[in-house]
Structures are given as C-alpha cells and as structure tokens.
C-alpha cells in the first residue's frame, strides 16, 4: 500500500504516508527532473504520469496514449523516457524466443513504486485498493519489483504473451535456464488453460504462482504456489 520509500513505509499511519507521498511527487516534477535538464512543464508531466498510472502494467502503445493525451507519439515516448530514466517507471520487454508462435512485441510499462502509483490513482487505504479496478495490476507491479530486486541483473526479466492471448506475467532467463511467475491478487488463486499452454511452450525449469497467501503448495510438476512474503528469502530455484 505505501510503497518502498523509507519515509512513506515507516510513517505512523496510512494517512501520514499519503501526506508524505504527494509533496515527493511534486518535488520530483518541479526540482529533480528539471535538474537533469528536462524542459517539460511539471504540469504536463504530472498529467502524463497520472495517465500512465491508469495504464499501469498494460502494453505500451504510444499512438493510443498520444491520442488520449493530445500529443504526438514522439512526445509521449519522450515523457516515458524521462520517467524511466529517473527510476519512476520500469519497462518490461516481451520474451521473444522463436517458438513458432506470433508473440506480442510491445513492452509493458509499470510504475516502479506502488505507493506513488496509489497516490496518483487517489487510493489511500487498503480497502480502497482491494476494491479498485487497478488492484490486481498494482499487486502485479509490486511483485515484479520484488523479483527484479532478487534476480536482476543476473537474470533477464521479460513477459510472455502470444497474439492469441496466452500470457505469463514474468519470464526470467539466465543462459538456458528459465523461471516463470504468474501473479494473482487472490487468496484462492486459480489458473486458466492458457497458463498451462504457456508452461508447455516456454518449458520453465520452475514456474511459480504468487498470491497473497500464508503458505505455499504444489500445483503440478515444477509448478507451485509461492507466498509473496517468502520473496524476501530469495527465489528457491534461482541460485
């Protein structure tokens, strides 16, 4: 809910955490980014950042976002670059191994800090978050950041999606080794037939389903549920 910035995470209450995050966003827009030489007005970049928050975890489509924002595709690409270069946004690229299938080639864009995402979406409580349409995407982005901290740069992070819609949230690759991760905001997670097709296609060494549950359990051979709280102990098969 609060993200990973220390003064937000350690605040005495959720309200105090929210109060800290808004000035942080303004300072980043009005002081930090201009210090790197950007001439984009803070109000323009704030609007774009908010629009990106509403598209958190979705495929990056510069033409569609430019049309909605009222700017050219190169302009919105430039705005994305600014936020990525100042560690506010992570671009997750597709896994493009040649499997004889038509694969999606556009990256996904995630806000790196979940607390800033919630501030930009005007979400101020856990209850609001779980009832919000972006709740699942927020959880996915948060788990992605934990995986990045555990595995990058030794492992290359990507996602897998075919043109037919079969998808896996994260594919991690190191040499010939592959790990897969599917993220679910559910205390009783289930997977679709498409998930099992992806497992068969990608041939992971191990694939994990990551929900907010208290304990893990196996789903099938080399596929198991891994509680998110265990991510801090490292990925069992990533040594």
pLDDT grade for 98, boundaries at 50, 70 and 90: low
Mean pLDDT of 142-156: 94
In the chain, the percentage of residues whose pLDDT exceeds 70 is: 98
Residue 97 has pLDDT above 80, yes or no: no
Residue ranges per structural domain of the chain: 6-233
CATH fit for domain 6-233, picks 3.30.450.20, 1.25.40.10, 3.30.360.10, 1.10.10.10: 1.10.10.10
Full 3-state SS string of the chain: CCCCCHHHHCCCCHHHHHHHHHHHHHHHHHHHHHHCCCCCCHHHHHHHHHHHHHCCCEECCHHHHHHHHCCCHHHHHHHHHHHHHCCCEEEECECCCCCCCCECCCCEEEECCHHHHHHHCCCCCHHHHHCCCCHHHHHHHHHHHHHHHHHCCCCEEEEEEECCCCEEEEEEEECCEEEEEEECCCCCCCCCHHHHHHHHHHCCCEEEEECCCCCCEEEECCEEECCHHHHHHCCCCCC
Average pLDDT of the residues of the chain: 93
pLDDT grade for 164, boundaries at 50, 70 and 90: confident
Residue 225's pLDDT is 95
Residue 31's pLDDT is 97
The pLDDT tens digits for 13-49 are: 999 999 999 999 999 999 999 999 999 999 999 999 9
Residue 107's pLDDT is 95
Residue 163's pLDDT is 81
């Amino acid at each position: 809910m609060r993200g990973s910035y220390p003064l937000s995470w350690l605040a005495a209450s959720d309200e105090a955490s929210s109060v800290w995050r808004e000035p942080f966003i303004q300072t980043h827009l009005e002081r930090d980014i201009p210090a790197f030489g950007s001439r984009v007005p803070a109000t323009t970049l704030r609007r774009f950042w908010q629009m990106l928050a509403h598209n958190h975890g979705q495929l990056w489509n510069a033409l569609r976002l430019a049309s909605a924002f009222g700017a050219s595709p190169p302009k919105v690409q430039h705005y994305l670059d600014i936020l990525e270069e100042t560690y506010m946004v992570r671009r997750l690229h597709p896994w493009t191994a040649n499997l004889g299938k038509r694969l999606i080639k556009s990256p996904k864009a995630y806000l790196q800090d979940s607390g800033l995402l919630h501030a930009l979406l005007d979400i101020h409580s856990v209850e609001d978050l779980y009832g919000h349409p972006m709740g699942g995407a927020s959880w996915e982005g948060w788990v992605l950041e934990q995986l990045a901290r555990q595995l990058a740069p030794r492992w290359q992070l990507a996602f897998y999606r075919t043109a037919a819609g079969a998808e896996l949230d994260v594919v991690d690759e190191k040499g010939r080794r592959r790990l897969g991760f599917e993220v679910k905001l559910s205390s009783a997670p289930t997977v679709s037939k498409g998930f099992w097709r992806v497992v068969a296609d990608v041939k992971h060494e191990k694939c994990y389903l990551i929900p907010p549950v208290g304990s893990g359990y196996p789903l099938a051979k080399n596929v198991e549920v891994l509680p998110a709280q265990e991510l801090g102990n490292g990925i069992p098969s990533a040594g």
